[in-house]
Amino acid sequence: KLYAAITAVGGYIPPNKRLNKELEQHCDTSDEWIIKRTGIKERRILSENLATSDMAVQAIRDLAQQYNKNLDHVDALIVATSTPDMPMPATANIVAQKLGIKSVWAFDVNAACSGFLYALDLGASLVETRRYRNVLVVGADNISTYVDLKDRSTNILFGDGAGVVWLEPSYDGGILDAYLCSNGEGREFLNIEAGGSLYPIDSTDITNEKRFLKQDGRTVFKHAVQSMTDACTNILQRNNFDINDVNWLVPHQANQRIIDAVGRNLNIPDGRALSNIEYIGNTIAATIPLCIWQNLKEIRTGDLVMLTAFGAGFSWGASLFRW
């Protein structure tokens, strides 16, 4: 059987840090509370004159350099983002142009924090058709633009970043399965309302409430734990695997307590649920590729890796691959 294998990984996190101490100056919170309730110590913030495409470009350059990959060979480029540079063209087009990649099928996928999983399955399907040999799948978000520094229910969680994987055909394993879901009834609990066609940027209706990301943290927390647990259980069952077969779980990095609760529900052995939330926070579509990128030394050829994510929509899912 022909699989889509991940043959290279790259990442980028901006240099500017936003520490918990800094947030204490903007709202009623504390370093101690944030660490205890989220596991996050700091997050990275992109400079104001840069955008999502700039981080995606840096992540792809990192991949090309580390693995000596020729970007002229890329025939599809998918960018998972919910913070595109602009409504049109797609951020993927801008990334391709900045990198000088020509004649590439480039487009965006928006599934918020589940975006990378959605785009990965799409990219894998393109490779499996045999019509595309080299597919780049990026997760990138400049979410700090949409975070209200005065809102302690969101400002503590989010940071900027980009991660990327290179997919190509392989007969020795790769992406085995993906289980992806969405339910629009969750849209009221986590969203950015303004900036689209419903509340255009010049609309008199625009308040900070609509302009910034807002969420009902407790509701999102509960659904995130349940949905990621269900998705992982389902995908393991239908592929006849047991949780003990999984070498690494790479969960969306939303809150360390969510990661721990999913791990407990699944009964995953200690140390197998990877985390890098402490120093970069929740980077939306970038969390999963960045977590793989920062833990590459741990993952060995032949390992079974399970990814899982949950985000706005609600959207969620899991995917399984043989490294």
Nearest distance, CB of residue 130 and ligand ACO, angstroms = 33
Nearest distance, CB of residue 34 and ligand ACO, angstroms = 6
CB nearer ligand ACO, residue 42 or residue 62? 42
Residues 266 and 104: their CA atoms lie apart, in Å, by 40
Q: Of 93, 255, 282, 291, which one is the catalytic site residue? A: 282
Active site residue 113: yes
Q: Of 113, 134, 223, 276, which one is the catalytic site residue? A: 113
Token duo for residue 264: 């407990």
CB nearer ligand ACO, residue 132 or residue 189? 189
Question: Measuring CA to CA, which residue among 83, 180, 190 is closest to residue 138?
Answer: 83
Element (H, E) at 307: strand 304-311
Any residues with CB less than 8 A from the CB of 83 and at least 6 apart, and which? 52, 141, 142, 143, 145, 146, 284
CB nearer ligand ACO, residue 153 or residue 233? 153
Residues 238 and 135: their CA atoms lie apart, in Å, by 27
Nearest distance, CB of residue 236 and ligand ACO, angstroms = 23
Active site residue 208: no
Nearest distance, CB of residue 4 and ligand ACO, angstroms = 25
Any residues with CB less than 8 A from the CB of 243 and at least 6 apart, and which? 236, 266, 267, 268
CB atoms within 10 A of CB 184: 9
CB nearer ligand ACO, residue 96 or residue 147? 147
Active site residue 183: no
Nearest distance, CB of residue 216 and ligand ACO, angstroms = 8
Distances (CA, A) of 323 to 6, 30, 81, 139, 301: 7, 40, 25, 19, 5
Chain residues in the site for ligand ACO (CB under 6 A): 29, 33, 37-38, 112-113, 152-153, 156, 190, 215, 217-218, 220-221, 224, 254-255, 282, 284, 311-312
Residue number, nearest CB to ligand ACO = 311
CB nearer ligand ACO, residue 132 or residue 158? 158
Token duo for residue 243: 């949780």
Active site residues: 113, 252, 282
